[in-house]
Amino acid sequence: MVSRKKIALVGAGQIGGTMALVLAQKQLGDVVLIDIAEGVPQGKALDIMEGRSVLGTSAILEGANDYTALKDSDVVIVTAGLPRKPGMSRDDLLSVNYNIIATVGKAIKEYAPNAFVIVVTNPLDAMVYAMQKVSGLPANKVVGMAGVLDSARLACFVAMELGVSAEDVQAIVMGGHGDTMVGLYNFCSVGGIPLPQLMDKETFDRLAKRTATAGGEIVALLKTGSAFYSPGVSAVKMAEAYLLDKKSVQTVAAALDGEYGVEGGLYCGVPVVIGANGVEKIFEVKLDEEEQKAFDVSLDAVKELVAWVDKQ
Ligand code: A3D
């Protein structure tokens, strides 16, 4: 008998709601939305349930206000926390979101210790590191969503610049999920054509810079929150790779244990293979001198935040 998969979304805000809809459409499993806001997870779950005959899906959605609803989840995606407001950096969210991640991490340890956990809450690299430490889950089963989104943003800007379809653009953005993230010119391709044959470095650098500040660009437009559609579909892509054992190559925040010369389980955006065992492999790509320098600067920014987490 094939059993239905259970996907728990901790945080039923903008990203949580988006993911619930997309997960239901894709029929990847039943979905439980968990949030401290009374009525919100129940309301969003019921709203999507009522659209199922139109969507053509048999997924079952529920809402809950306590963490016991995590029980036996196959995947847990965590967006619980506060988003950025205009003028706030991702790092400003550090202490308030740390306390939330600590609470959620303990609950995951108790109710869903076998789950694949995807953290989305910012500041991302520090929060996923904290989640792994607090939950005690194996490092290959705890990942952060940032690189999928940052790479998608860069692919979007490259596609817009060249007037081609974004789905034909392959891009990699590595490093921490902050202003120091590193877009890789030589790793970008368009329909299999290496980008340097289609675009000069100066143009690429402008697009990579826009990518690093793309979250802030949306915050400034929305004024009341941060991006949620593209973050939502990016986290779903990671969950899908795990649930379907796709061996999918994606850039995610993964725990480094010697790779890229980084020790201590520090989390940073790198290309990995995601399958039924979570992060099954980390690819160590060869960076040129300039890229390596930028990656090191980005790592230093992550280390600073992680040092704060280690003191808690
Ligand atoms: P929002 O719509 O505010 O949703 C967050 C939800 O978390 C709210 O409904 C809260 O009630 C809920 N919440 C707060 N504390 C708890 C708790 N202890 N347990 C359960 N639920 C709780 O925000 P959002 O969905 O737009 O964003 C969520 C997070 O994702 C924020 O930290 C953002 O900064 C972050 N984010 C990350 C990226 C990345 O690429 C990494 C992109 C966009 C947003």
> From the CA of 121, how far away is ligand 1's center (Å)?
6
> From the CA of 56, how far away is ligand 1's center (Å)?
28
Residue nearest to atom 8 of ligand 1 (CA): 13
> From the CA of 116, how far away is ligand 1's center (Å)?
19
Residue nearest to atom 22 of ligand 1 (CA): 80
Residue nearest to atom 2 of ligand 1 (CA): 13
Does 41 contact ligand 1 (Cβ within 6 A)? no
Does 124 contact ligand 1 (Cβ within 6 A)? yes
Closest ligand 1 atom to the C-alpha of 16?
25
Tell me what pLDDT residue 19 has: 98
Residue length of the chain:
312
pLDDT at 90 exceeding the cut of 80: no
Does 227 contact ligand 1 (Cβ within 6 A)? yes
Does 12 contact ligand 1 (Cβ within 6 A)? yes
Summarize the confidence of residues 103-115 as an average pLDDT.
98
Tell me the pLDDT tens digit for each residue of 191-207.
999 999 999 999 999 99
Task: Select which of 6, 84, 141, 177 is catalytic.
Answer: 177
- Of the listed ranges 88-97, 177-186, 239-248, the one predicted with least confidence: 88-97
Encoding tokens for residue 175?
């490093």
Does 79 contact ligand 1 (Cβ within 6 A)? yes
pLDDT at 89 exceeding the cut of 90: no
Q: Grade residue 58 by pLDDT with cuts at 50, 70 and 90.
A: very high
Encoding tokens for residue 253?
């925040």
Summarize the confidence of residues 84-103 as an average pLDDT.
86
pLDDT at 218 exceeding the cut of 80: yes
Residue nearest to atom 9 of ligand 1 (CA): 13
Is 177 designated active site? yes
> From the CA of 261, how far away is ligand 1's center (Å)?
32
The helix-helix angle for 229-243 and 14-26 (nearest 10°) equals 40
Does 298 contact ligand 1 (Cβ within 6 A)? no
Cα angle value 173/201/206 (rounded, 5°): 65
Q: Grade residue 84 by pLDDT with cuts at 50, 70 and 90.
A: confident
Summarize the confidence of residues 88-103 as an average pLDDT.
88
pLDDT at 88 exceeding the cut of 80: no
Between 91 and 79, residue with greater pLDDT: 79
pLDDT at 79 exceeding the cut of 80: yes
Tell me the pLDDT tens digit for each residue of 35-56.
999 999 999 999 999 999 999 9
Does 8 contact ligand 1 (Cβ within 6 A)? no
pLDDT at 2 exceeding the cut of 90: no
> From the CA of 97, how far away is ligand 1's center (Å)?
9
- Tell whether the torsion through CA atoms of 35, 37, 39 and 45 is positive or negative: negative
Does 125 contact ligand 1 (Cβ within 6 A)? no
pLDDT at 1 exceeding the cut of 70: no
Encoding tokens for residue 167?
């789905």
Summarize the confidence of residues 89-115 as an average pLDDT.
93
> From the CA of 42, how far away is ligand 1's center (Å)?
17
Q: Grade residue 87 by pLDDT with cuts at 50, 70 and 90.
A: confident
| Sheet order of strands, 142-144 included | 61-64, 30-34, 6-10, 75-78, 116-119, 142-144, 248-256, 266-275, 278-282
Tell me the pLDDT tens digit for each residue of 256-271.
999 999 988 999 999 9
pLDDT at 216 exceeding the cut of 80: yes
Tell me the pLDDT tens digit for each residue of 116-140.
999 999 999 999 999 999 999 999 9
Tell me what pLDDT residue 202 has: 98
Q: Look over the chain and give the mean of its residue pLDDT values, rounded to a whole number.
A: 96
Does 121 contact ligand 1 (Cβ within 6 A)? yes
Question: Taking the complete model, does pTM exceed 0.85, yes or no?
Answer: yes
Tell me what pLDDT residue 92 has: 78
